[in-house]
Structure 1
């Protein structure tokens, strides 16, 4: 059974980058079409009917509920410069982080040598209260101005090179299949049908569909020029190619499409090559 899944994924991989390349070409057109479709239309009716009044009231209530403040834990990434004589231990102590985490964020050994002027990455968690739009296909936010500003920020991040990416877990559940170089392409996180699958980081949806054998319903999100993530075997997709998504936003429902169990296959790719997602994820286990 494991060999069958492996063979399917290897077969599907042959079309992975072909589909991604096509999605990249079509993404701009999708964004233009989406913007055109979202332009407000003039109201040509002289008076609203009772039915339309009720619909407007329902829409208003839904928008108010969707934009209710919620508390979220977000990941913040900052960089500091190493000075002459600095060590990872000294920087970790100064910024109240563990040496192990600091070394992992910077892909170094805990006793690694630092050079003066070297950029050192710091990752922290912050609890913030935000206005969150209800999940919907296309990822449209309730505040167009805020959405446009956020989308521009994500677009700038997607367009630049980066040495790493800070992720959150794409689903709550147990890792039932770990990453094994040359054998698996990512990790499988098990759950129940319909469980939310969320974007592991801000990015642009480069592909959302079912065109790759072995992957089922698949979403590919580009986070910067060097890193992307992929989410496979979903029951339902809640975004489309060209959408901008934000970390923690629900993008799909977990399922078993083209798989023998309910789970999301989560991949991290750096420069096109699959890498172990675990070093990029928070250390706390999922339950």
Structure 2
């Protein structure tokens, strides 16, 4: 009997510790891990909302990066001093946001004239790096098939972009026949385009004339993807294709067959179609003719 009281006191102590509100439940921790894993599996512009830089991966082009991050391709080029054909190298960190600049009391941007020794070294190394890239690195096509995962040599991609200016496009057409199975949602986690369901192998058409600036499968969550530049303001994308029938840097016309419908990167056969205006997703049904 005397031994019973110490045992009971010990059990009460353990019970009190386990009920403390200072420890996170195991179920909450596992849920957080699943949430992070889900974000990594599918690229969404909202994932990069607060990101200041993006590290170039194998198969990337400047346009696929703009699509992935939701940043206007013209802004990315400006922030990183890139000129057509927009050559980028695997492993490089690209700015997604403008650099912070000191402002005077009058609101004008001022430049700090004094350059530290550290800054000089950085500038010198950057110049050296540019020279190495220009003289020694071989620029290869940005098609994902061209990249070799086991190569240690930096890869580069470039797109020969025709500057068509900006402005409204009035000649959009439907990119595929079939049932409209999903529609656009403006919510952060919502559908950023439309889904059109049809049989496997059904033709996928160009919605408006333009230049193919991406054709590959490097963007997670999109499967076999084609991105077309129509002008400096508008891009369109055609995802989850079975076969791609065009290549990057190819001019395409409205109604041209560019792919066949499939289920790459998804579980059902359908076309996922998006339109981006200056990097931001817009409702395609606002632009497509009624049917």
If the length of structure 2 is used for normalisation, what is the TM-score?
0.47
Q: Which structure has greater strand proportion? A: 1
**Greater relative contact order (Cα < 8 A, sep 6+):** 1
Larger radius of gyration: 2
